[in-house]
A = this chain, B = another copy of it.
Amino acid sequence: MTQPTHEDAASPVDVISELIAQLGADVVTLPDAFGSRSFADWSGVPSALPRALIRPRSTAEIARAMAICQRHRQPVVTQGGLTGLAGGACLCGGEVALSLERMNTIESLNTVSGTMTVQTGTPLQTVQEAALAAGWFFPLDLGARGSCTIGGNLATNAGGNRVIRYGMMRDQVLAVEAVCADGAVIGELQPMIKNNSGYDIKNLLIGSEGTLAVMTRAVLRLRPRPRSVATAWCGLADYAAVTRLLTVAQAELPAGVSAFEVMWPGYYDFVLDRLPALRAPLEERHAFYVLLESTGGDAARHAEDFENVLARLLEDGTVANAAIASNERDALAFWAIRDAPGEYPKLIPGMVAFDISFSIAQIGEVAQRCEAALKTRWPDCVALVYGHLGDGNLHVVVHRPELSKETAREIETLVYDLTREYNGSVSAEHGIGLKKRDVLGHTRKPEHVRSMRAIKAALDPCNILNPHKLFKPD
């Protein structure tokens, strides 16, 4: 990276004037023209207004904007669909906002290679639909699909429900083009699975939450479109049965498992009780509920395989009871129970939510201890526990009447201390952003964080790319 000299910094022209002069008033919007535009993401973290909003139409324009900003030491926050949950796209004051909203074109789709080259402002759902229309499949999927962008998915290494089969966002990407802090464009849009040519800067940028470079274009990897789906709702008696179901289903279903969502009874009872539209798939209550999904080839053969595996697991007692979806409506009804967190803002506004991960073998114990500790400390609290178990990802949501800021902080301390005790991660899939900076050290040792800071200083020596995020100030 070019290390700027002191002379560079003492530029006499104001950065905003220079941005307008170089990029035009159509690209650079000033605060008086923001209207009602919001700059906050879905995290609940408040956001300041930017000094200006930059909306470039090309990588070249972004490169020019970054070169100007670095010369003026002007901090830049890159923004996509603003659906992040860690405050990574929020503004702390004094920044310019760089929105990729005009870079929303699918540039090419190769049906032979199964690859798609996109500008990173493209919404996820647009990519999913284009893949399907071409006979292929883009597997990343999350609730925010209509609003979130490929750039945001890259910046946070987004996860979602299909990680167990297809991996996270980084597993869907063959190449990334990015603009560095000094305006240099790096990354080659090479559409190959194998490319061992020096450091894997692509994977370094993915998940770096806008702090190392502005990702501008990407080559995505498409997958064969699944031709059938089988879904079951299972009730189980203990955690050992849950992990056994996971192991057997992964080994014996020909195409493995495409979702393995576990819900603890506290969660199940709460959402069934509060949301009248939900139907109980099984009559009786169980210690654990698993939504099991497998995607496959020929529908009839796949259904047979799915039923055979479940029948054996019912027979040997691993699964206490199960309901297999006989049509899409059934499957949607099962998923509605798992997707109930979409209703949280109405049911439990102001809840404290966690996105943590552990080894699969330990999740049962962690969840039990976590719920017990919360209930002991706050007997009137609601503690909802569920997660993508195959990935070790646990979501815990805590609420109590008249939840004060102090109590929220106490709840966080309790859950994050337990996360540290079990060598877990304070962020499985949402990222660190502003919200979890203070607990990064629960998951990463000081030496490790020092290496991260050394990389940040090497690639962004003036600290203008999304400053204040990821790390606590020195």
Q: Which residues of A contact B (CB under 8 A)?
A: 1, 110, 112-115, 156-157, 159, 163-164, 167-168, 170-171, 180, 184-201, 203-204, 206-208, 212, 224-225, 227, 243, 247, 250-256, 296-298, 301-302, 305, 357-361, 388, 390-393, 423-432, 436, 440, 443-445, 447-452, 454-459, 470
Contacts and interface: CB of A to CB of B under 8 A. Distances in A.
A201 B443 CA distance: 14
Nearest to A189: B423
Contact of A198 (B361, B424, B447, B452): B452
25 contacts: A157-B200, A159-B196, A164-B193, A168-B193, A190-B359, A190-B425, A192-B359, A192-B391, A193-B391, A193-B393, A194-B357, A195-B425, A196-B430, A199-B456, A200-B204, A200-B206, A203-B204, A227-B252, A252-B298, A254-B255, A254-B305, A255-B255, A455-B459, A457-B458, A458-B458
Most B-side CB within 10 Å, residue of A224, A426, A427, A457: A224
Given A198-B452, A199-B207, 17 more contacts: A112-B361, A113-B359, A167-B171, A168-B193, A186-B447, A188-B445, A196-B425, A197-B432, A199-B208, A199-B455, A200-B206, A200-B207, A203-B204, A224-B250, A224-B256, A301-B301, A301-B305
Given A203-B204, A459-B455, A302 B193 contact: no
A172 B56 CA distance: 39
Contacts of A454: 1, 458-459
Top 3 A-B pairs ranked by shortest CB distance?
A224-B251, A458-B458, A254-B254
Contacts of A224: 247, 250-251, 256
A371 B322 CA distance: 59
Most B-side CB within 10 Å, residue of A112, A180, A196, A247: A196
Given A203-B200, A424-B190, A451-B459, A360 B114 contact: yes
B1 A451 contact: yes
A225 B196 contact: no
Contact of A201 (B296, B428, B452): B452
B458 A194 contact: no
Given A301-B254, A443-B188, A447-B186, A194 B428 contact: yes
Contacts of A187: 448
Given A195-B428, A455-B199, A188 B297 contact: no
B112 A429 contact: no
Given A251-B227, A302-B254, A428 B191 contact: no
A196 B432 contact: yes
A291 to B, nearest CB: 18
Residues of A contacting B: mostly: loop
A146 B244 CA distance: 32
A68 to B, nearest CB: 18
A50 to B, nearest CB: 25
Contact of A451 (B157, B201, B243, B393): B201
Nearest to A448: B186
A301 to B, nearest CB: 7
Given A247-B224, A305-B297, A444-B197, A192 B450 contact: no
Given A113-B359, A115-B359, A188-B448, A254 B296 contact: yes
B449 A198 contact: yes
A197 B440 contact: yes
A428 to B, nearest CB: 4
Contacts of A360: 112-114
Contacts of A458: 454-455, 457-458
A324 to B, nearest CB: 18
Contacts of A180: 447, 451
Contact of A297 (B252, B425, B431, B459): B252
Contacts of A156: 196
Contacts of A200: 157, 170, 203-204, 206-208
A142 to B, nearest CB: 13
A268 to B, nearest CB: 23
Nearest to A112: B361
